[in-house]
Chain A
Amino acid sequence: MTATTTRPGGSVRERPPGRRRPRRRFTGRDRHDFWVFLALVLPNVALIIAFAYRPVLANLQYSLLNWTLGSPTATFIGLDNYVRFLTSPSSATILWTTLVFTVVTVGGSMVLGLLIALALNRRVPGTGVARAAVFSPFVLSGVGVGLVWLFVFDPTIGVLGSVLRTFGGTAPDFFNNPTLSLVMICVVYVWKNMGYAAVIYLAGLQSIPRDLLEASALDGASPTRTFFKVVLPLLSPTTFFLLVTSVLNSLQAFDLIRIMTPLGRGTTTLIYEAYLQAFGGYNRGGYSAAVSTILFALLVVFTLVQLRWMEKRVHYA
């Protein structure tokens, strides 16, 4: 798991046991290394401080202002932006949309990803090609993908409607019905991301010792029983990792929503609300910053809660 990488260890120098090394003098070589290190690391660190750390604090500051984006002046209004968000009826809809979108897309891509991984894990020829094909949407532009699926889903001239009509159905109005718009976004998001879950699950499946599965089969367990009693529990670290990364990714989904449903009718999640408020014609800088800060707080809280939960519950193989 990624967490292990933050553990110190690489730079700890070995020391003979029982003997304390005399404190080294600050040598010319050390001083040289000091400057070399700064020259190597400082540009990257400075960029990250300027464009990743500073914005988090600046956002907090903006969120306390009544500030029209582009205006040179702003008034301090305390927590009014937060109060306005939490008491506005449209916010309940936005939070609900965020929840539905996250649960459906995370669940959808993980379940489909696991099913595909199980198929890929069979030792048959052609799985390498299939693995690459299923993974490919993950690296494609969300804007390009969104446009392609808009054409497929188009209620009048889309190929989906045409196929449904040949079977006697009608084309659902994905563009004007808010609920169907959300369904559409979820489908495309799962299509784009299930390959990632599949590849991660495949790696998890391949790390399961074969004799464990053979032992289970020898004990007379059916494949289904083996799957639920042996395979799935052994996959729980993988499932946990995917759950966290997928939730964080879904909470940040933007490209598809922006290109497929620019007005956000039925598809306005927290992040899209933050974008719309600032850049969707309202220019509400302070309010948008408050929504962003709420989203950021959610991401942090979710990560921390999950990290605690992982320590207690997940079974490590």
Chain B
Amino acid sequence: MSTRALSPRKLADAALSAYVPLVLAVLVVVFPLLWMVFSSFKPLPEIITQTPALFPSDPTWANYATATERLPFGRVFANSVLVTVIGSAIKVALAVLTAYGLVFVRFPFKNVIFAGLLVTLMVPPQVSLLPNYTLITSLGGADTYWGIILPGLGTAFGTFLMRQHFRTLPPSLLEAAELDGAGHWRRLTRVVLPVSGPTVATVALVTIVNEWNDYLWPLVIVSRPDMMTLPVGLTLLANVDNRAAAYGQLMAGSVAVIVPVLIVFIALQRHIIAGLTQGAVKD
């Protein structure tokens, strides 16, 4: 940041060339989200109107109550939390273990194995949809938690980020531990992990956000409302004849799926943005 004080001319200049487009962009992004939050508290007459206002004049929790009547909302929310927490915990653990093995353990053809992992980033989940659906349903995984979680557990992205980080650690750090007689497990938990907090946090955050928002797989593998995750439950809520009357409930549902991520994002945006854009920029 420049330490020079801005002259009025320059200030006006900066305002025109930077602030106007920025304010415009921020408004375009923020407005629909504000609209969602405020609309979720509007009573029906304020939803079904040709002249809507931003703020509810008669705020109510009715939309949340109705959504709960049409869908086991608490249960669906809990399903999302459960699937996200368990799925993310396993994925992060797998990423850390795989990356540690690839960087610090002697084994032939490690780079071939790593390349094999990276190639899967090119396989879109849609291509694996039908075969995974056939396999998981034949194993009895339809409408079960493990059926939702299992096929997405293998992680190439997390392994990639963790490996990148582990390779920046000085080898002397581990050699010292090895001379002290520490085995791989102690080297991982006592030496490597304590200095890898930020990277683990980044991988965890990105994984949590992706698991929470995951849609296509839970959509096909779950059909019972009490096993649905939030995005799938919202699809059920949206499936009505008179959608106009349902927008209030739909906004309440959208708040439930969007606001938790938004709060996490606002608190930890640097980590999340870094994680999602890593590898894009040259070192």
Contact = CB atoms under 8 A, between A and B. Distances in A.
A212 interface: no
A130 B25 CA distance: 8
Contacts of A161: 50
Contacts of A137: 29
A255 B231 contact: yes
Contacts of A258: 215-216, 219, 235
A208 interface: no
The binding surface of chain B is classed by DSSP as helix
Contact of A37 (B105, B134, B219): B105
Contacts, number: 316
Interface in B198-248: 209, 212-213, 215-216, 219-220, 230-231, 234-235, 238-239, 243-244, 247
Interface size class, chain A: 35 or more
A40 B235 contact: no
A1 B60 CA distance: 50
Nearest to B111: A8
Contacts of B51: 162
Interface stretch (B69-77, B115-123, B189-197): B115-123
A292 B130 contact: yes
A55 to B, nearest CB: 3
B177 interface: no
A306 B221 CA distance: 35
A299 B215 CA distance: 21
A40 B265 contact: no
Interface string A130-160: 1111111111111111011111101011010
B175 to A, nearest CB: 13
A58 B131 contact: yes
A55 B277 contact: no
B42 to A, nearest CB: 11
Most buried by B among A34, A36, A126, A248: A36
A1 B282 contact: yes
A152 B277 CA distance: 30
Most buried by A among B2, B39, B123, B151: B123
A109 to B, nearest CB: 12
A34 B109 CA distance: 12
Contacts of A150: 238, 243, 247, 250
Most buried by A among B116, B253, B257, B258: B258
Interface string A268-302: 00010011001100000100110011011001100
